[in-house]
Amino acid sequence: MSFALDAVGVIHPNGQRALAGVTLSARDGERIAVIGPSGAGKTTLLRVLGAALRPTEGEVQALGTRPWQLPAAALKKLRARIGTVHQSPPIAPRLRVVTAVLAGRLGEWSTLRALGSLFHPSDITGAHEALARLGLEERLFERCDRLSGGQLQRVGIARVLYQRPALLLADEPVSALDPTLADAAIGQLVAQSESTGATLMASLHAVDLALRWFPRIVGMRGGAVMFDLPAAQVTPGMLDALYASEGGIATQRPLPAGAATVAVVEAAFHRPDCP
């Protein structure tokens, strides 16, 4: 078992409930997409799974441990085995791209090695390989504040590929990328999961990408799981219900502009290389 949540709820300090009664588990190596409207609780769910946010209610298990029962040093070790791609990567602007990628393994390194790598990057080949998978190898020594938002997002993905975590969490990892780059970047995350056996869980607004690349789809709304199904069993009607408008604000299922909704959903059900 890679992770298990049992009746997990989160209420933020301001009283806002973000998750309610979420029970969910994943086997090692599973690939799961989380979809749902804005505010559904996707980011909060990923933060709970990454042991970054302690839930208000329920039980969390991740990589064979109960994070919130661990002493501080063991919790730090657990976090080093979990990799998160953030929608806006928390990367210091003046950092070189190479250093930002190598930071993926900071949690594994001694303080001395980590400090040293700031001044003398120690595994340039490894950083180059990770960046090449995202088509960014020529930016190896560029400063991060000279990159576009989409390039920075790809640096965040390269960093987690370099980290090689056992549990790979991605929160809207391709929101700043054009459709071609987004598809390629999700392909790299999936390839990483296939080659290392890491469990991959990604939140995505692009439903077509979710259905094409992920065998299992979790639909969330209002902090709760609405459905948890194999991609082939998710119907256009379920997607309409998931993204239905609330409070008079018209919402639209986020599919590529100009696409015939049903046709795209149906076409997206099967990856050519998936049975």
CA 37/CA 246 separation, integer angstroms: 10
CA 88/CA 172 separation, integer angstroms: 9
State the alpha helices, DSSP H only, in 121-251: 124-132, 149-163, 179-196, 207-213, 236-242
Residue owning tokens 């696409």:
259
| Interface stretch with ligand ATP, choices 9-17, 70-78, 116-124, 157-165 (CB under 6 A) | 9-17
55 vs 126, beta carbon nearer ligand ATP:
55
Question: How many CA atoms within 13 Å lie on the side-chain side of 158?
Answer: 30
CA 65/CA 47 separation, integer angstroms: 16
130 vs 202, beta carbon nearer ligand ATP:
202
Residue of 17, 23, 166 whose CA lies nearest to 84: 166
Q: Residue 60: which H helix or E strand, with range? A: strand 57-62
| Interface stretch with ligand ATP, choices 37-45, 128-136, 159-167, 239-247 (CB under 6 A) | 37-45
Residue of 238, 189, 232 whose CA lies nearest to 211: 232
Among 1, 7, 12, 64, binds ligand ATP (CB under 6 A): 12
User: Does 38 engage in binding with ligand ATP (CB under 6 A)?
Assistant: yes
User: Does 42 engage in binding with ligand ATP (CB under 6 A)?
Assistant: yes
39 vs 107, beta carbon nearer ligand ATP:
39
User: Does 252 engage in binding with ligand ATP (CB under 6 A)?
Assistant: no
240 vs 266, beta carbon nearer ligand ATP:
240
Among 18, 100, 103, 160, binds ligand ATP (CB under 6 A): 18
Q: In this structure, which amino acid lies at residue 78?
A: L
User: Does 135 engage in binding with ligand ATP (CB under 6 A)?
Assistant: no
Site for ligand ATP in 72-91 (CB under 6 A): none
State the nearest-atom distance from the C-beta of 240 to ligand ATP, in Å: 18
Residues at the contact surface with ligand ATP, assessed by CB under 6 A? 12, 14, 16, 18, 36, 38-44
